[in-house]
Structure 1
Amino acid sequence: MAVTDKCEIETNDVYGLLYKDAQQDPNLEMFRRELLTTAARALDKARMVRFDDATGFMHITDLGRIASQFYIKYDTVEIFNEFLKSVMNEGDILAVISQSTEFAQLKVRDEEMNELDDLHQQCEVVAMGGAEHVHGKVNILLQSHISRIRVDSFSLVSDINYITDNSVRITRALFEIVLHRNWPLMAGRLLTMAKMLEHQMWHFESPMKQFARLTHEIIEKIEDKRLTIEKIRDMDPKEIVRGMGYHKCFFAIWNDGNSWESGIVLVWVEDPDNNHMYHHEQFHTTKKQYYVRALSDKWLSCESTVLMNFQNLILPERHPPHTGHTIHNIMDEISKSVGLNNGVLFRNIPFPALVIKFSEIISTGYKILIIFLGLE
Structure 2
Amino acid sequence: MQLQAYICGAPIEDFALVSDTAYVAQVSPPKIMRKQVPHSIALLYQNSGRIIRALLEIAMSRKWANASAVLAAMSKSIEKRLWPFQNPLRQSHLQREVIRNLEMYADDFAPIELAEKSAMEVGQLIRSNDKHGSAVLTAAKQFPTIDIRYALRPLSNDMLRVEVTLEKKFVWNANVHDGAEPFYVWIEDETGMSIYQSQHILFRQVTKTIDLEFVVPILSEIPGNITVRVISDRWVGSEDEMVIDLTNLVMPARNDQYTPLLDLPLLSVGSAFGSSPLRDAYSRLFTTFNPIQTQAFWTLFHTDCNVLLSAPTVSGKSTLVDIAAW
TM-score range normalised by the length of the shorter chain = 0.5 to 0.7
Task: Please give the residue correspondences for 1:293-332 in structure 2 after superposition, counting only pairs within 5 Å.
Answer: 293-319=229-255
Distance 2:255 2:186 in 1: 30
Q: Choose from 189, 212, 220 the match for 2:100.
A: 220
Q: Choose from 166, 175, 182 the match for 2:47.
A: 166
Question: What is the TM-score with the length of structure 2 in the denominator?
Answer: 0.52
Q: Choose from 156, 159, 165 the match for 2:17.
A: 156
In the TM superposition, what is the alpha-carbon distance from 1:151 to its structure 2 partner? 1.6
Q: Are 1:253 and 2:135 matched, yes or no?
A: no
Does the 8 A contact of 1:148 with 1:201 survive in 2? no
> What is residue 121 of structure 2 aligned with on the other side?
239
Distance 1:160 1:299 in 2: 23
Q: Choose from 188, 193, 218 the match for 2:69.
A: 188
Distance 2:279 2:118 in 1: 77
AA of the residue aligned to 1:200: R
In the TM superposition, what is the alpha-carbon distance from 1:252 to its structure 2 partner? 4.9
2:74 counterpart SS class? helix
AA of the residue aligned to 2:4: Q
CA 1:161/1:249 → structure 2, altered by over 3 Å: closer, same or farther?
farther
2:227 counterpart SS class? strand
Distance 2:279 2:218 in 1: 43
Percent identical: 26
Question: What is the TM-score with the length of structure 1 in the denominator?
Answer: 0.46
Distance 2:102 2:240 in 1: 22
Higher Cα radius of gyration: 1
CA 1:348/1:303 → structure 2, altered by over 3 Å: closer, same or farther?
farther
Q: Are 1:270 and 2:188 matched, yes or no?
A: yes
Does the 8 A contact of 2:229 with 2:239 survive in 1? yes
Distance 1:274 1:177 in 2: 17
> What is residue 4 of structure 2 aligned with on the other side?
143
Distance 1:188 1:300 in 2: 12
Does the 8 A contact of 2:228 with 2:242 survive in 1? yes
AA of the residue aligned to 1:298: R
AA of the residue aligned to 1:270: E
Does the 8 A contact of 2:3 with 2:24 survive in 1? yes
Does the 8 A contact of 1:294 with 1:304 survive in 2? yes
**Which digits, 9 at most, give the CA deviation of each residue in 1:145-199, with x for residues without a partner?**
1111122234433332232120110001111111122211111111111111111
Distance 2:116 2:237 in 1: 17
Distance 1:192 1:309 in 2: 26
> What is residue 92 of structure 1 aligned with on the other side?
none
AA of the residue aligned to 1:284: P
CA 1:178/1:347 → structure 2, altered by over 3 Å: closer, same or farther?
farther
**Which digits, 9 at most, give the CA deviation of each residue in 1:75-105, with x for residues without a partner?**
xxxxxxxxxxxxxxxxxxxxxxxxxxxxxxx
Name structure 2 gaps, 5 residues minimum.
Answer: 26-45, 143-170, 199-213, 260-275, 283-303, 309-316, 321-326
In the TM superposition, what is the alpha-carbon distance from 1:291 to its structure 2 partner? 1.4
2:9 counterpart SS class? coil
AA of the residue aligned to 1:240: V
2:241 counterpart SS class? strand
Q: Choose from 85, 91, 111 the match for 1:229.
A: 111
Task: Please give the residue correspondences for 1:282-361 in structure 2 after superposition, counting only pairs within 5 Å.
Answer: 282-286=215-219, 287-319=223-255
Distance 2:280 2:80 in 1: 71
1:282 counterpart SS class? strand
CA 1:274/1:293 → structure 2, altered by over 3 Å: closer, same or farther?
closer
2:181 counterpart SS class? coil
Q: How many residues align?
A: 199
In the TM superposition, what is the alpha-carbon distance from 1:348 to its structure 2 partner? 8.3
In the TM superposition, what is the alpha-carbon distance from 1:372 to its structure 2 partner? 11
Name structure 1 gaps, 5 residues minimum.
Answer: 1-139, 324-344, 352-368
> What is residue 123 of structure 1 aligned with on the other side?
none
**Which digits, 9 at most, give the CA deviation of each residue in 1:114-166, with x for residues without a partner?**
xxxxxxxxxxxxxxxxxxxxxxxxxx110011111122234433332232120
Distance 1:189 1:150 in 2: 27
1:308 counterpart SS class? strand
CA-based RMSD of the aligned residues comes to 3.5
Does the 8 A contact of 2:188 with 2:195 survive in 1? yes
AA of the residue aligned to 1:159: D
**Which digits, 9 at most, give the CA deviation of each residue in 1:220-240, with x for residues without a partner?**
111111232133112201112
> What is residue 13 of structure 1 aligned with on the other side?
none
